Amino acid sequence: MSRFFAYAGEALDAIWRNRTRSLLTMLGMIVGTSSVIAVLGIGSAASNGIADSLNSFGDPGFIVQVDPKQDDPLAASIQFRDAASVAEAAGGLVQYVSPNYQRNYALKANGVDYIAAVTSDNGVVLDTLTLHEGRRIGPADVDGATRVTLLSRPLERRFFGDDGTALGRQITIDGERFTIIGVFDDLKAGIFNNVGGSDFVNIPYTTFHEMAPGPVDALQFYIRKGIDPERAKAAVIDALRHLHGPRAEYDVQDVLAFLNTFTSTIAIVSFGLTAIGGVALVVAGIGIMNIMLVSVAERTREIGIRKAIGGSRNDIVVQFLFEAVILSLLGGAIGTALGLGVTLLASSVVSSFVGPASVPLLPIVLVATGFSVVVGIFFGAYPAVRAGGLDPIEALRS
């Protein structure tokens, strides 16, 4: 251990003697490390924030809609009664099938008018949204097509103020009177809050059908556990084609698959940008190798003296390798501090758009430290071996 500290002390002395040159050499490591950390951190924050935002809505299942690009979209229109027929035809593969609506309607409550999204509810709780007050829409509400509704928390504030309570109050939706039975908590999904997605009203799908008796917007279904999704989707489409003709075309959206693809894309982009930042680390490593070769040339006589008084080849190699690694670590440490500062600043901005965005700081710091050590060893190895291989007599004559 004492020899370890001796090597480190001599390396620091050598770096300090040529501090201006050392600082210029470290600039490459500073730029490379900070850019890698910033890209990794911001990419992770964005990916985690968006994933958490979308996951806050739970499992949305599958949505099947009419393909608008077919020859006769009206003939393929999904009707309210189709849900029961599809559930019966594909009952062994799907668990729930229900009509799905989402439309913008004029709302009025407490003398305030507003236009917001009105969505349908099938009475089965499959999301992870929590309630601020009241209760959820249940099967009895769906079976009875009751005039009950849930509001989002921002809508409650809009209609009844920050201190008001919407529970038990009346609201009109497209001229129809409803009783508010619950209020959702504020969404953690900041991305939806920023685009107005937090303003919504929930009503039973049967009630929605009475308000809009024409074709439904889509069918929503959930497959049973252990069932191949492709098989279930094919069964649902076959059931709809049986009802509306073999030429009817439908699109099936797997929202969870879309989420996974989206987060994977962000990860790939982040990896690509990190690789670009890694190029700066390679350039920094070449700079370290160059400066260490210069150092070997300048200290050739010193190396000869060390060997003449009994210093081994390994001692010389380790000494110069220590110098390269410490040079790399110092640049990496400064770059890490700068990169973390940029990451924390950027993650707060990302959080304002997509909601809470966690950043895995410890893995990022470990990666940065590992990169610094690897760069120092890899690019410092050749100058160190060259120094250790010098002939002591030739070195003393230089």
SS (H, E, C) 62-86: EEEEECCCCCCHHHHCCCCCHHHHH
pLDDT at 353 (0 to 100): 62
Are 102 and 23 part of one and the same domain?
Answer: no
Count of domains forming the chain: 2
Are 305 and 217 part of one and the same domain?
Answer: no
pLDDT at 274 (0 to 100): 72
pLDDT at residue 197 above 60? Answer: no
Q: Where are the beta strands (DSSP E) in the chain?
A: 62-66, 94-100, 102-109, 112-121, 131-134, 148-151, 170-173, 176-184, 200-204, 218-223, 250-254
Are 270 and 352 part of one and the same domain?
Answer: yes
**279-295 mean pLDDT:** 82
Q: Which of 254, 282, 305 represents a domain boundary (last residue)?
A: 254
CA–CA gap between residue 124 and residue 139 (Å, rounded): 7
Q: Which of 234, 254, 274 represents a domain boundary (last residue)?
A: 254
Are 26 and 128 part of one and the same domain?
Answer: no
pLDDT at residue 291 above 60? Answer: yes
> 192 pLDDT band (50/70/90 cuts)?
very low
Are 16 and 42 part of one and the same domain?
Answer: yes
26, 331 Cβ separation under 8 angstroms: yes
| Of 373 and 68, the one with more pLDDT | 68
DSSP per position, 311-365:
--HHHHHHHHHHHHHHHHHHHHHHHHHHHHHHHHHHHHHHHHHHS-----HHHHH
Are 71 and 6 part of one and the same domain?
Answer: no
Are 67 and 28 part of one and the same domain?
Answer: no
**174-183 mean pLDDT:** 94
| Of 255 and 241, the one with more pLDDT | 241
Sign of the alpha-carbon torsion through 200, 203, 204, 206: negative
Q: Which of 208, 225, 254 represents a domain boundary (last residue)?
A: 254
The string of pLDDT tens digits covering residues 112-130 is 999 999 999 998 877 777 8
Distance of alpha carbon 281 from its chain centroid, rounded?
25
The string of pLDDT tens digits covering residues 311-367 is 677 777 777 787 888 888 888 888 888 888 888 887 777 666 665 666 777 777 787
Are 32 and 75 part of one and the same domain?
Answer: no
| Of 229 and 177, the one with more pLDDT | 177
Helix (H) or strand (E) holding 272: helix 255-298
What is the value of pTM for the model shown? 0.63
Are 357 and 376 part of one and the same domain?
Answer: yes
Are 264 and 351 part of one and the same domain?
Answer: yes
Range of the domain at 240: 62-254
The string of pLDDT tens digits covering residues 3-53 is 666 766 777 777 787 778 878 888 888 888 888 888 777 777 777 766 666
> 145 pLDDT band (50/70/90 cuts)?
very high
Are 216 and 126 part of one and the same domain?
Answer: yes
pLDDT at 185 (0 to 100): 86
Q: In a 3-state reduction of DSSP, which class is residue 105? A: strand
Are 193 and 322 part of one and the same domain?
Answer: no
